[in-house]
Structure 1
């Protein structure tokens, strides 16, 4: 009886253990979590990678969602992990642990076909590649197999630890994304007046001799290649996009860009003020036809989009211009006053290195001649000026300064110092006419030449002596004229006084003359009576 009881107890215990063992296969997954299934043993092992696509031993591709699940005890282990949550206005990055290896030309894994990160089996069967992915995760909640994928967000890193070095690789990737500001979208506000310069870090390298990648994938009607401002990396590369700095820029808006694929550098917009035009010197583009003609050998003038000086300037306004692909040279279209005066500078400051023209006159004096020249640049001819000289200041210092100085040195040699002073108006008129053709040759319009009074240095007193003599001579001439006028005035004064005195004695003279006549008549009358 004791043996029977003992066997009964053992059977009961065995049954309880068997029931408990069977019940140990029950797994409860909360709705805010997932279960990652690891199969410890089976008939086959995984031949490549570590995700068991065909029920082999290893990590299974499908995850367990919220609810009750039953798995064979001992054969399966379930790793409970949270759902991946990407907050509003944030970006998540994916790192695939299993899949096809990247090609030598790739930095990031392609997601053209394998782009569903919530279906690990489909990802791998569609040729998904291991490593950092081109596609990013936008805001939302995702049930992702964290044995196959590592999800890096700003708040935390979602992953299933597999080894000691695993976390180090992930942390390095997270630091790089943080340094590039990659967890937030690129936001360009209209109040900032900025443009975004994009640099691509994946794809084919630029051909030799090129520094800027051309614009591709901008046709909105082509869904295969339109990449919507670099937000769809695979479409960009399919359109023929190159690695490196891009010609296309980003303007105002919000862009969800994978910062491992592309980085964005902000630059100010180019502003062309009223009264100026912007001549574009492009560093990139095709080799266009030289519009300046075969006789004009001062660089190439090309149509917009080609390499060289663009024939059409930018009119006043605001432009999102890529300053890495070229430069914009501002050319004034208002009148430019150039002053050959050391102590004065014009408003455009092109003449800050100019000084008075040193002359040697016909009578061997050496005065310095201050002068001002007013010029104008036609906005349509501004590209020709930049094509020839590079910028307006170089034009002034390397061409106009020696040309104007030489002209007035020649004028000074044909006139004495006094003639130079006295004939200034005539010299201005003649120089304005004669120099117009010289300025026209350089695509400039000469408006007026203004000449100042010749000056001298403080140690040279000879010119001042001549000027003093000239002043004395003029004073003498004026004195002669004054004396002559005074003499004439005195003669007239004498005549006036005689006339006045005669007028005052006129009555007495008249009375005496009448008295004489009366007496004469009386005498004649008495004589007649006596006879």
Structure 2
């Protein structure tokens, strides 16, 4: 009898020992449930998931590729797959058990628990229920699914339940030529007139608990994400607005544009100059430095995550800041300029506009690089032809000036010096041609008498003459000339002759050099009185 009892005991012990061995294959984890209590439940133990060995689901997890002995019949083990976060994405975590989060806390406080793989430590150290600050980057994790819900792009139902999208769970990648402006959803109350100051140690907002511990502000942050980087950001904590920092070409044209164009709000410039309707195209190149991008986002719209949000902010900036500046300038000069001034001083208009744009954008930190006014169209074809002639001659002057500058930069031989002198003559000749073309346009628009008087008055205000001038015979023009110094009188007499000749004389012909091509032979004779 004793032998039988011994055999039964040995058999029972063998079964007990074998039955208690729990093997967890690689790639899986074992979720442990205690069937009944063997000790009183501790007050600090969580009733949903126990970390003190009370009955019910256990926080402790059996890891893959291991063997563990548990008391048979007392514990039940369920094998589940490891948690996997696909490459290039993140996983966000919701704790199903833990302390109750305070009512004024929108997200659970951070607890170090080996990326949620140590559930016992999470509960023991006061981990809170709900959304967690830490995210899981791509890879495999031994996470207890009874304690934590991990949301990835492979769990669409859970993703939709939390109001997330696949884009929100993708790593933030900042393209070359862009910067990432970070907008945090939690933090200290922001200043109403500034963006959030930098906070040390949060590794580009990837450690949000460090940012919050450093009293970082809620809202737009001054620190930006560098181009070419990839960042694992918690979408519950912050989103990123990508703003282009490359050189942007913005165009005022009548061409149709897509809604994604940054210059969608810009149309062809139309203005009324002395009764003439003028339409012109314009180009403005700008660059938004990374330091200016937060201000653009804060002042012109927070946008959404990704490139679309950045485009929305920049589009509003172009519309409300840049376009408004250009429109105000053209409204002002359209009432100030006469059509002949607008034709002959088109380049001056462009330079003046460029200065105003540069001054306006300086306030926002945006760099205004170049302002270009294209050829305009007028309802009167005659005006278009006049402007075209002036533009062609202006380009000729620029070309000759560029050649002269190149020769002056060399200065390394006698031959170059001679070429420089010859080129100087060519530049002066092209400038005289430009003056002649502009004068001819004015004569055709205003008539020779009006232009002559206008030029005389222009010279008169430059010299010291009596405050009152009158002619006994009523000839005020003659009295003006008599009151002027001899040099100015000679110039004006020559000018009057030029005005009279501009209606009938052809455009000055090109000068030809003599046999030896000297500068003296190319110089035209001086005007005689």
TM-score between the two structures when normalised by the length of structure 2: 0.49
| Structure showing the higher helix proportion among its residues | 2
TM-score between the two structures when normalised by the length of structure 1: 0.49
| Higher Rg | 1
